[in-house]
Amino acid sequence: MENRSLVPQSGLKLPIAQIRSVFRPHDVERKLAKLPARDHESLRATYERMLERGPERFQVKPSGVPEMASLYDQLPNFAEALDDVRRHVALAQDIGDGLEVTPMLLLGPPGIGKTHFARQLAELLGTGMNLVPMSSMTAGWLLSGASSQWKGAKPGKVFEALVDGQYANPVIVVDEIDKASADAQYDPLGSLYSLLEHDTATTFMDEFAEVAIDASQVIWIMTANDDRCIPEPIMNRMNVFEIDAPTPEQARAIARNLYLAIRGEHGWGLHFDEEAGDDVLDMLAELAPREMRRALMTGFGNARLARRGSIQPDDLPKAAGAKAKIGFLQ
């Protein structure tokens, strides 16, 4: 296996553990040769794209156990899940193997930062993130693709992440897995039975392309509000972490870190105080983490309009229920 290095991301040096093939070109060539001279234009284009891109993808991991203190600060209620990631990174740090993370389920109420955790993890590992929102999808072929015999069929999200992406070990987030709705013909979660098992994932078959894909290195993160709708065999394939809403102290710390991050990410941040006021942090701590960023952006904007360098409580949006009315005067 060939070792290479990547441009550092987020201050980390991310060496390539190895170059890994995610499919066999011979399989693709054989499928392409068997296609009729006419029809199947989409399938033909898919095979040609696979051969043009080639099968090799980067399989990356952090060099050593990365410094994760900032993540613990940003996501204090995710400590157990972060601990699990650190353990997996520690196992892979001194060997040529790629990073392998047991599929994880983040279980907890909406708005507490589950998807944000997944994005931060993908950034930490440097492999990119692919989001699959199950709440808005009903088709069983979302993950595994639809047969090319169907009109408008296309590959699934797993195929796209591996064949069209750069990495053999991308982070794939199945968001709100408990919202997946099945009908008599399709089970949206059916492909996970094989995808979440390392041995069977090495020869995952997308139903559109019908070419074996090595999905064994995918880093899976599921999010859910309620585990009662998730089949037990799928639950048994994952490490389950029950994520509580942050405590008032944790929420205040999240708000402070978010203020600092937003201020530091924008040039206009120089116009504002280095720290948010206690009264502002107290108000933000009453919001779900998902809502804090929107509230802060509103606060920054209102303060700037008032030509102030500090956000005041009145700059933050009103609590839910005090909605402004927009319409025509009668």
Question: Could you report the per-residue pLDDT of 131-147, keeping only the tens digit for each?
Answer: 888 876 555 577 887 77
Amino acid at 33: A
Name the more confident of 99 and 243.
243
Name the more confident of 121 and 15.
121
Mean pLDDT for the chain overall: 83
CA distance 36 to 52: 20
Q: Across residues 205-226, what is the average pLDDT?
A: 92
Q: What is residue 94's predicted lDDT score, i.e. its pLDDT?
A: 64
Q: What is residue 271's predicted lDDT score, i.e. its pLDDT?
A: 93
Q: Which residues pair with 175 in a beta bridge?
A: 133
The distance from CA 305 to its chain's CA centroid, rounded to whole angstroms, is 35
CB within 8 A of 13, min separation 6: which ones?
5, 63
CA distance 27 to 47: 10
CB within 8 A of 330, min separation 6: which ones?
none
CA distance 91 to 42: 42
pLDDT-wise least confident of 97-101, 113-117, 285-289, 302-306: 97-101
Q: What is residue 185's predicted lDDT score, i.e. its pLDDT?
A: 59
Question: Looking at the predicted structure, is the pLDDT value of residue 31 above 80?
Answer: yes
pLDDT band at 6 (very low <50, low <70, confident <90, very high): very low
pLDDT-wise least confident of 28-37, 119-128, 165-174, 248-257: 119-128
Give the residue from 108, 101, 74 showing the smallest Cα distance to 85.
101
pTM listed for this prediction = 0.80
Q: Report pLDDT digits (tens) over 289-326.
A: 889 999 999 999 999 999 999 999 999 998 654 444 33
pLDDT-wise least confident of 63-67, 166-170, 204-208, 316-320: 63-67
Q: Which two tokens stand for residue 223?
A: 């999010």
Q: What is residue 16's predicted lDDT score, i.e. its pLDDT?
A: 52
Name the more confident of 315 and 112.
315
Q: Across residues 28-57, what is the average pLDDT?
A: 89
Q: What is residue 12's predicted lDDT score, i.e. its pLDDT?
A: 44
Q: What is residue 11's predicted lDDT score, i.e. its pLDDT?
A: 42
pLDDT band at 29 (very low <50, low <70, confident <90, very high): very high
Question: Looking at the predicted structure, is the pLDDT value of residue 242 above 60?
Answer: yes
| Residue 240: strand, helix, or coil | strand
